[in-house]
Structure 1
Amino acid sequence: MSKRDSVKYKIDRRMGENIWGRPKSPVNRREYGPGQHGQGRRSKLSDFGIQLRAKQKLKGYYGSIMEKQFRKIYDQASKMKGDTSENLIGLLERRLDTVVYRAKFVPTVFAARQFVNHGHVLVNGKRVNIPSYRLKVGDVVEIRERSRQLGIVLEAVALDERDVPDYVNADHGKLTASLTRIPTLTDVPYPVAMEPNLVVEFYSR
């Protein structure tokens, strides 16, 4: 098992939910947490614990973003006009690695981060290797010509375990994609319930 898969599965088991909706998730077999005490009775969470858990789940879903970076995204969302929780989701969905994942060019968000890091992706014709690069509506994301026959891309495009959301325009023939609009929380196809409002409460304490 790769280190990336190990981290991914630990997040699933810690949350007790299959947060990416993948058939291989260990939660499909064991709904209790990892470790020797994982099957013990779970104590009732405090309000702080509930908010912390919501933050960990959202951070984990997007590839286990580092706390400093996630806090920075929240701070930016809080300074924007409108609902902070909706702004937070919009900023997360505008990340380059997220759009690569949404377009089904790779099978997981962890793979998307690595794929971008390794220079396989162009934005408006220029190579971008920063997973957190923030896209604007209409920007064209493209898999480099030399990377289009990689096994990970061919496998992901053929997978039918998830669909491309309607706010991403993906062409699997040309391996291009673009963000057509900034999604709201209800637009995003999370396999489990996400509660960005609790994340806002956590950071507003």
Structure 2
Amino acid sequence: MSRYTGPKARINRRLGGQIFESAGALRATNRKPEPPGMHPRPRKVSTYGESMREKQKIKYYYGLGERQLRKLFDQAGRMSGNTGENLLLLCERRLDSVVRLSGLTHTRPQARQGVSHGHFTVNGRFCDIPSAQVRAGDVIHVKRRQNIVGLYRGRVAEFNGQTADWLAFDEENLKVIVHRLPTAEDITLPVSVEMVVELMSR
């Protein structure tokens, strides 16, 4: 699941949302928004089926495996507040998610690959762990190598979105500053997380 390489538009159509953000997947999803299959038709889905679908949204959107999601769920349960919100906020605070939300990449798989290949430093230190949790005050830099800097300058120039409110992006220096932690209003994935919490609490 964490390295899904199959047809992304099919996942978008099956889960009914823009889970994968690549241009090809979005074009194909817009062209055929109905669920995949030769003769797609509305089917009654059980509560369990709906919960599984919501869980799959989280796993595909953030690129998580079952074990990673379970680990985050257990961590969220030990935190104060709403477990579902805490789970999604922990997902948003992953380093690869921060790179994506800053506008340095167009998709989360791109961000995950960049982090894994060592394209970024956190507070001046090398970090190649996509799941690393950022904290308020952290500074993420693109590594100062000519080919890497050129790659990300090109991506930033093509970016037509908006940097997340809880991040500050310095386009000139290719630097991202986490000026605060995200809140429930900053969560980017529309998902019924309470159904996921109920499912995973069994």
Compute the TM-score of the two structures, normalised by the length of structure 1.
0.87
Contact 1:116-1:130 within 8 A present in 2 as well: yes
Contact 2:21 2:107 in 1 (8 A): no
Residue in 1 aligned with 2:163?
164
Say whether residues 1:199 and 2:200 are aligned partners.
no
- Measure the CA separation in 2 of the matches of 1:29 and 1:154: 31
Contact kept, 8 Å, 1:103 with 1:177, in 2: the verdict is yes
Who is 1:30 aligned against?
32
Distance 1:157 1:127, change over 3 A: same
Mapping of residues 48-197 of structure 1, within 5 Å: 48-63=48-63, 65-146=64-145, 147-150=148-151, 153-190=152-189, 193-197=190-194
Match of 1:9 in 2: 9
Structure 1 unaligned spans of 5+: none
TM-score, L = length of structure 2: 0.88
Contact in 2 for aligned 1:122/1:141 (Cα 8 Å):
yes
CA positional deviation for 1:5 = 6.4
Deviation by residue 1:75-122 (Cα, 9 ceiling, x = unmatched): 110111111111111111111100011111111100111000101110
Could you say if the C-alpha distance between residues 148 and 198 of structure 1 is closer, same or farther in structure 2, counting changes exceeding 3 Å? same
1:160–1:130 distance in 2 versus 1, CA, 3 Å: closer
Gaps of 5+ in 2: none
Supply the distance in 1 between the matched residues of 2:65 and 2:116 (Cα, whole angstroms): 16
1:32, CA displacement in angstroms?
2.5
Provide the rounded CA distance (Å) in 2 between the counterparts of 1:55 and 1:141: 29
8 Å Cα contact 1:51-1:199 kept in structure 2? yes
Structure-1 separation of matches of 2:38 and 2:70: 29
Give SS of 1:133's match. coil
Indicate the percent of aligned positions where both proteins have the same amino acid.
38
2:121 match: secondary structure: strand
Q: Are residues 162 and 198 of structure 1, via their aligned partners in 2, closer, same or farther at CA, if it must alter by over 3 Å?
A: farther
Residue 17 of structure 1 contacts residue 31 of structure 1 at CA under 8 Å; is this kept in 2? no
More RCO (CA 8 Å, sep 6+): 1
Q: CA deviation at 1:178?
A: 2.1
Contact 1:18-1:28 within 8 A present in 2 as well: no
